[in-house]
Amino acid sequence: QSRTIRFAVDHDHQSGAVRGLLCKRCNHELLGAGHDDVSVLWRAITYLLFPPAQISLAQKPTPGTIVAALRAHLDLAAAEVQQKRPAPLEPDF
């Protein structure tokens, strides 16, 4: 059974410039819900990295701690992808 994935052409709603292809869900439910507003999406990232119910007011994240946490999260994700990537094939000659 084959699976079809439909892509949406993502574009800047102000300039009309094409940004790339996204799955329909990311285009509509993520960027669309965030209204293409970096500050909205940044607050969502901060919320996921530092859930308010799990930190005290004394631990309120600063821009530096947010960037450091995001960098650590991305480094971990990149390492996981690298582990799953098959080794390149050696030429057979």
Over 80: is that where the pLDDT of 85 sits? no
Please say if the pLDDT value at position 19 is more than 90. yes
Radius of gyration (C-alpha) of the chain in whole angstroms: 19
User: pLDDT value at position 57?
Assistant: 65
Mean pLDDT across 14-36: 89
Q: What percent of the chain has pLDDT over 70?
A: 95
Full-model pTM: 0.59
The mean pLDDT value of the chain amounts to 84
pLDDT tens by residue, 35-75: 888 899 988 888 888 888 887 766 778 888 888 888 898 88
Select from 66, 22, 24, 65 the least CA-distant residue to 44: 66
Task: Round to whole Å and give the CA distance between 79 and 74.
Answer: 9
